[in-house]
Every structure is written in C-alpha cells, then in structure tokens.
Amino acid sequence: MNCQEFWESNPEMHMEGGGAQHGAGGTDSAQHAAECQSCAAQLRRHQALKGGLRTMAAQLRHLEAPARVEAGLLAAYRTQKRVMTGRARRHWWVPVFSWAATAAALIAVAVLLLNPSQPPSPARRPVPGSVELASAGAPDFDANASAETDDDFIPLPNAENLDPDEEVNVVRMEVPRSTMMAVGLPVSADRVSELVEADVMVGADGVARAIRFVDE
C-alpha cells in the first residue's frame, strides 16, 4: 500500500482507538503507518483533531435555545390549532349551505318555468309613500314561504316571521342584480353586475325581511 492508497482507505476509521484494526483494509493501513513515518504522524494529527472535535461536541451539548423560544412557539402552535379547529368547524356547514342555496334556486326556476300563466309584474312600481322611508303594516305573508306574496314581496332566505301587527318600513334602494339570484329569480350572467331598484321591507328590529324588485 502506498501513501495515496493509505489515505483513500480512510485510515482514521480503521485505526481508531489506539490502533485497533478492522478487516483487511485495517491491517494494510496499520502496516503502512508502521512503515511510513510521515503518514503515521499525519494520522496522529487527524486523530488528535477528531478527539478535540468530540470533546468540543460533548462540551457544547448543553447549549440550547432559550426557554422563551419554546414559549413563543407553543403560543404560535396553540393559535394555529385554534384556527385549524375553526376551519374544521366551518367546513361542515359550507357545503350544506351551498347545496341548499342551489336547490332553492333550481326550485324557484322550475316554478317560474312551469307556471307561465302568472301575470307579468308591472314594469315599474310606484315609490312607497312620498319619501323613501315609509311605515306600513306587516303584509300578510309567511316569511318562510318561497313563493311571492300578494304584494310581490319575496321573503328573504332565513328571515324571521313577521308578526301580523308588526310595524315595518319599506325602503327603495338600488341593489345588485345578483340579489335576485339569492331569492331564486333567474338572472342572465352578463347582467349580474348591474344595479336594479328594489323595495326592501325592514322589520321593527331593523332587519330586512323581504324584497320586491321594481325593475326586473
């Protein structure tokens, strides 16, 4: 074995522990180290370095990140866990709501298509009262019904029932045409972003209960 072969055979591995030899490569390495003083000296230097590195590693083993890092990370983990839990909670009802809304829209379209004899709504309705905000008695309709009422007010989804004697306000305003979709009315895709005038019936508690479109 020459010097190059000696170093390529990884002599540090073979001769660790004061010359312990492992296998044929170890025997050859030991023989070369015994014959070549230069390689033997260099090997001793490498072994001394390795010993120093081991000692240094052992001395530094106690070196750890301060406790505040753990505390900060734990807080971050808990926050993230809450967010994840929140997301999981939302997940169950989002698809249910989507399917329910889609089903309601399809039913409304089907009702409109199967009932062509229904008289067309007037092109333009008079403004309720002399001012935009007007008080009126509660119209006779069931807020949960999906069909339009006698006044052509359409109950808003999830709106509470109105008491028969409840005072309501009707406000005329412009709403996006997409609002019509929310109550099951057909809207062409290219007009979704347009505004349309509508009368919104607001209960005594200030919550909108029904809507009537002035210009459809």
Partner 1 sequence: MSLAPPETDDDLYDRLRSGDETAFLTLYRRRQGAIYRFAVHMSGSASQAEDVTQEVFLALLRDECGYDPSRGTLSGYLFGIARKLLLRHLERTRSDVPLETDNEESVIAELAVDDSPLEDLTHREGIESLRRAIRTLPRRYREVVVLCDLEEVDYADAAGVLGCPIGTVRSRLHRARALLLDKLNQERHSKPSVSTLKPLRCVV
Positions touching partner 1 (CB under 8 A) are 37-38, 41-42, 44-46, 48-53, 55-57, 59-61, 63-66, 69-70, 72-74, 76-78, 80-81, 84-85
Q: How far is the CB of 154 from partner 1 (least distance, A)?
A: 41
Give 63 or 96: the residue with its C-beta nearer to partner 1. 63
Burial track 37-69 (b if 16+ CB lie within 10 A, e otherwise): eebbebbeeebeeeeeeeeeeeeeeeeeeeeee
Give 56 or 204: the residue with its C-beta nearer to partner 1. 56
Give 72 or 186: the residue with its C-beta nearer to partner 1. 72
Angle at the Cα of 75 from the Cα atoms of 73 and 76, rounded to 5 degrees: 65
Q: How far is the CB of 31 from partner 1 (least distance, A)?
A: 19
Q: How far is the CB of 74 from partner 1 (least distance, A)?
A: 7
Give 81 or 191: the residue with its C-beta nearer to partner 1. 81
CA 100 to centroid of chain Cα atoms? 21
CA distances 124 to 116, 121, 127, 212, 215, Å, are 20, 8, 9, 11, 6
Among residues 183, 204, 198, 216, which one has the least CA distance to residue 136? Answer: 204
DSSP single-letter state for residue 143: T
Give 68 or 124: the residue with its C-beta nearer to partner 1. 68
Q: How far is the CB of 215 from partner 1 (least distance, A)?
A: 46
Strand ranges (DSSP E) for 61-182?
133-137, 154-155, 167-176
Q: How far is the CB of 3 from partner 1 (least distance, A)?
A: 8
